[in-house]
Chains A and B, each alone.
Chain A
Amino acid sequence: MTSLAKIDEHATVTDVFRQALAEKVETESLDLPMLPEVARETLSMTRDETSDASELAKLIYRDQSLAAHLLQIANSAAYLGNNKIVSLQQAVARLGFRVISEITLAMVVKAQLFNVKGQEKTLAYLWQHALASGAWSKEIARTLRYNVESAFLCGLLHEIGKPVTLQAMIDIGAKNEITPSLEDITTLMDEFHTPIGVMLATKWKLPDPVIESIAYYQSYEFATSFAKEAMIVHCSDAFTTTMIRDPKMDEDYLRNLPAIAELNLYPDDVTALIEKQPLIKDTIEALSL
């Protein structure tokens, strides 16, 4: 339990949450959820070239809720081919390892982290933002012809620390009988999501480009090994925020982002990217289930 005795008596509720969160981050004592086994094994199988599709199908069978979600997504407009997918084996065979692992991780992350009682509205927004960032990252990477396959996860998970921060605030509030305001939540999520996200991604042993994107998407100039991924995510975050704010999207603002210049994207490239908005919306819709 956070020791409120150490907090100044004039401290605001925001200060209480801030200090408690800072302490938890500093002492690495935050309760971080485990990466569910199914997601861990899926990720590891994706990296293992000797794995085969039937093993993956068996693995997903262990989690019936995940299996059901996967079938729903496989049959959604974004993934549906000529025939309706009726079995998990068919889904794995058709969608392939990469897509399955991407969907699995997305579903697991949603179920595990985006599930804080009473905070449904905030979490729904964060989830939409995550999905859109994943989709934009992929399109930006495609324009750059650079690591398209890994871009989705980098974008999807770049603010994975936010729901964890939110959960931590709710827990701190419950223990100390205080309730964070929406403003507290927004402010403190912004302040703490990066270190918390990095802690979680490290614990979950997520791929290095994902961890670097979480750590440096706001300050890509400090990124070391995966600076380009961090820049792509920085831009995808801006594209997402702009799109959610106004579907017309502020093209001038996006064109003038320093990261856009860093990535050597010219005005025509930005225009072409903005035109991909319907595609992004399809992806969000498919994975919003």
Chain B
Amino acid sequence: MTISKTFDFVIIGGGPAGQKAAIKAAKEGKSVALIERDRQIGGACVHRGTIPSKTLRESVMQFQRAQNAIEPMGVKSDGVVEFSGLLSHLQSVIQAHSDYMFRQIERNNITYMHGQARFLDPNHIEIMRPNGQKQTIKARFVILATGTRPRSPDDVPIDHEHIYDSDSILSMIYVPKSLTVLGAGVIATEYASILAVLGAKVTIIDKGDRPLSFLEPELSQRYVDNLENFGGRYVGGQRTKSVTWDGVASVQCTLENGEEIVSEKVLFALGRVANIETLNLDCTGVELSSRGLIEVDDYFRTAARHIYAVGDVIGPPALASTSMEQGRQAVCHALNLPSAHLARTIPIGIFTIPEMASVGLCEAAAREQYGPVIAGTARFDEIARGHISGIQDGLLKIVVGADNGQVLGVHIVGEGAAELIHIGQIAILKGMRVEEFVENIFNFPTLAEAYRVAALDALQKVHRQPPISGVNIATAGG
């Protein structure tokens, strides 16, 4: 075995988790190699997931806003839009992001290696370039951040032409007349809503009674209402028995209840699998969970003590924001550096149309955990800013403990939800009581006013409930 170089840290995977791990290790003065299978760093987040879908969504929203703006002026629009046209500035967004990341890698003297990594033994890694050339490096610590890819079951003939997965859906060049979406998780609902707004007749099929079942029911309901407004349909409580392309023009999904749904295209978005096959983990001692994810302890250490795993490859929450912090913390642990525990209160932003966001506990979960709770809601059509910006279908819900008024959860649907949620996040982290939203002043007119309105609603309900200890009812009533 010819070893070309030895590194303190070898990071496998150049997505958000891998990048932050590499940068942290380099900033601590360690020699670092970052191996990436794709030509560009950024991982699924930049190239196939978060950034492309959000860019598409933003283009769709701009298109919709433009249409809404010109119609009252009597300007007619045929409403037809090229899917590929909506993604036209995606490449520049990705390029700008990629350039910035490469500059960061360079600035920190990180050795970037393009190729596919494979363990030869727990400390030696072979890197194969696309042309087959190989080199071997040695690592003191390894951080696995290889991410996940869409699941592709044998009985669903995903061909990226008629039946897409959540990576290839972006290569669609036009809006299909009809689309069946299998799955009702984040990715599935995001694309379903975008394509429904663009004019595709969308049907979502999922085993759950409602889409995004981890969210507050009100949010799921708003999503379904909006989908139906655009001619879509949610088929809940159903599993798909078979998916077949007729060989020429349409795809048929047969449900377990016998119903057949025929559409021009299908998006299969039921689960993701860890990218581990080519790593040859068998020779490392790294253990996998029953779901094929890499098992780690609280410090992101695998069963092989010098090998860490971070990001989507270890499973939920599989958010870019969390993955970055995991990467940083894994390096801190390896180097015995002090590091704060990963925050448990993590906001979730879902870029559906309408946008949704959530932090903390749902009403039902809060009740289960804390006993009696009160929920206050604010509808955006009661907020001045909602009228000004044409965001009237939104809703903000605050869940508070009935005994002490402590904010336990905030759930928002409506444009700007993913930004607005951070106020709720801080409120939860700081253990704030609901009346503090009433006692403090927010800018007017802003959507943040919804917090105050929801808080007032919660406090009005408090008046009808047994008294909450410590809540200043007099102030709250103002």
Contacts and interface: CB of A to CB of B under 8 A. Distances in A.
Interface stretch (A12-20, A122-130, A174-182, A261-269): A261-269
Given A48-B80, A79-B248, A96-B249, A266 B159 contact: no
A36 interface: no
B415 interface: no
B103 to A, nearest CB: 21
Contact of A49 (B39, B116, B174, B246): B174
B132 A267 contact: yes
Interface stretch (B160-168, B209-217, B341-349): B160-168
- Interface size for chain B: under 10, 10 to 19, 20 to 34, or 35 or more residues? 20 to 34
Nearest to B131: A261
A48 B116 CA distance: 43
Interface in B210-260: 246-250
Contact of A81 (B128, B129, B130, B247): B247
Contacts of B248: 79, 81, 94-96, 99
Given A255-B131, A266-B130, A95 B116 contact: no
B281 interface: no
Q: Is the interface of B mostly helix, strand, loop or mixed?
A: loop
Given A49-B80, A94-B248, A150-B173, A145 B131 contact: no
B249 A265 contact: no
A255 B249 CA distance: 34
A86 interface: no
A46 B167 CA distance: 25
Nearest to B165: A145
A148 interface: yes
B171 A264 contact: no
Interface string A131-158: 0000000100110011111100000000
Contact of A261 (B130, B172, B175, B264): B130
Contact of B246 (A50, A94, A138, A141): A94
A256 interface: yes
- Interface size for chain A: under 10, 10 to 19, 20 to 34, or 35 or more residues? 20 to 34
B173 A265 contact: no
Contacts of A99: 248-249
Contacts of B128: 266-267
Contact of A145 (B132, B160, B250): B160
B173 A266 contact: no
B167 A145 contact: yes
B325 interface: no
Given A49-B177, A150-B173, A255-B131, A95 B159 contact: no
B76 to A, nearest CB: 14
Interface string A244-273: 000000000001100011101111000000
A49 B178 CA distance: 11
A267 B159 CA distance: 21
Contact of B173 (A93, A147, A261): A147
Contacts of A50: 78, 80
B130 A94 contact: no
Contacts of B174: 47, 49
Contacts of B246: 81, 94
Contacts of A80: 247
Contact of A148 (B37, B160, B165): B160
Contact of A265 (B78, B130, B175, B264): B130
A68 B439 CA distance: 79
A93 B249 CA distance: 8
Contacts of B58: none
Interface string B167-203: 1100111110100000000000000000000010000
A47 B84 CA distance: 12
Contacts of A98: 249
7 contacts: A47-B174, A48-B80, A96-B249, A99-B248, A145-B168, A148-B159, A264-B130
Interface of B: 37-39, 78, 80, 116, 128-132, 159-161, 165, 167-168, 171-175, 177, 199, 246-250, 264
Given A49-B174, A49-B175, 18 more contacts: A47-B174, A49-B177, A79-B247, A81-B246, A81-B247, A93-B249, A96-B264, A99-B248, A142-B160, A146-B168, A147-B171, A147-B173, A255-B131, A260-B130, A261-B131, A264-B38, A264-B39, A264-B130
Q: Across chains A and B, which 3 residue pairs bring their CB atoms closest together, nearest first?
A: A96-B249, A145-B168, A148-B161
